[in-house]
Structure 1
């Protein structure tokens, strides 16, 4: 049950030169939610996620982003405590962000670096309990059998599930997933979304995921936030996104690619 706010975005704007990616966006995320961010390319979805995690600074002004009650950034300046906050946030990238020459196990156990001395990571001297946590996380997402293989030899879906396992080893309380299935085949994409959904449902993990696949947003997320030209144009349950609303968000071309079985 979502019972406490973990992320707060208030009046946030972000510009890249003359282009405004976010225009006064506000968003509250409660503990235990699974939220899909949808919208056309360039609508500001990835920019919002990167701003929440402090990977990029927002524009000066009134904008404030908080996580777990701590300031991530405000008025264009990233907080000097952002590393402590970011340690509680797992970020899943579209291109997995794994080191291809390292084993899947090593990539996953690196999630523990934030709470262990750096020399252990350099020498590969991981405590027994940390190694056990890494293997348990790999098993949880269904890729434990590939722990000894180099990450670069595995499929995109396997690598993405390992990236989720790394967030589990990190002990992340919130996962921000930026287009995690965009480069995957449909079967792998579904497995990744089912993994995120299971962790949200069974472990209470808070998940915010950006998606181009609107059908996945409607199927797996209980709340959908749509962005268009840097503005929030919809925030509510999937049931509120009928055909007309989606066409309004994406434009008339959406009719040409509307999937079979979509809401009418």
Structure 2
């Protein structure tokens, strides 16, 4: 792991049955980067994020994942002290992962769970710091008017902004976002991507986001990592990713659906 890296993946593999979702993946993520993970469905993008966040184990063997200089997992086992590391990593999901019957305020305040304890949170005994941080995050993302509303009554874009606000209350230093705009309309999707970029550039958070929309990857992220069949096939500046490489990654049909103004 380099001195500047906050995440390091070395020789990580993950097998599901006979399918190798990750095949010896190695990657360093520097502090303050905003990286897009792209690639066709089944290429290993979500598997990689879930492995980094210790939501699943990688295969036993040489694979090692570290964050902030400390172990997350190795040899197919989650590190016993991973909970402390995970409090600094916020995970954003495609389907928001909010508790629908709870208010938006409560969902966002739950970002402080790792600091205040389960029972205090379950009883709604929020410290003043959590209350202020929650309302500040909701206001920042334009959803404070919905604080008392049940999460399942909100639009997809509002819920996703709530999920990002929860990561802010969590005081995460790294945000892993797994297809955060896949289920959103174009306007909501752009707003969510604008928020992630703002958190990266203004707050200095490290952001790793998986995207199916290659144009978003090139527009919002300076670095792009492309996966294909569990292998890293491109890792470099967004400006260096050319149309012929994208066709190689996604297949010849990609050119037929590519947007106007594609890189050449």
Q: TM-score, normalised by structure 1?
A: 0.98
Partner residue, 2:30: 30
Q: Which 4+ residue blocks in structure 1 deviate beyond 6 angstroms?
A: none
**CA displacement, residues 178-222 of structure 1 (integer Å, 9 cap, x when unaligned):** 000000000000000000000100000000000000000000000
What secondary structure sits across from 1:164 in the alignment?
A: helix
CA distance in 2: counterparts of 1:101 and 1:262, whole angstroms = 43
C-alpha displacement at 1:236, in angstroms? Answer: 0.5
What secondary structure sits across from 2:202 in the alignment?
A: helix
C-alpha displacement at 1:263, in angstroms? Answer: 1.3
CA distance in 1: counterparts of 2:31 and 2:72, whole angstroms = 17
Structure 1: state its 5+ residue gaps: none
Partner residue, 1:181: 181
C-alpha displacement at 1:142, in angstroms? Answer: 1.8
CA distance in 2: counterparts of 1:219 and 1:123, whole angstroms = 43
Q: TM-score, normalised by structure 2?
A: 0.98
Which moves more between the two structures, 136-145 or 198-207?
A: 136-145
C-alpha displacement at 1:117, in angstroms? Answer: 2.7
C-alpha displacement at 1:120, in angstroms? Answer: 1.4
CA distance in 1: counterparts of 2:195 and 2:215, whole angstroms = 17
Q: How many residues align?
A: 262
Which moves more between the two structures, 14-23 or 141-150?
A: 141-150
C-alpha displacement at 1:128, in angstroms? Answer: 1.5
Partner residue, 2:225: 225
RMSD value, Cα: 0.8
Partner residue, 1:151: 151
**CA displacement, residues 107-142 of structure 1 (integer Å, 9 cap, x when unaligned):** 000000100032211111111121010000111222
Structure 2: state its 5+ residue gaps: none
What secondary structure sits across from 1:203 in the alignment?
A: coil
CA distance in 2: counterparts of 1:226 and 1:127, whole angstroms = 42
Partner residue, 1:169: 169
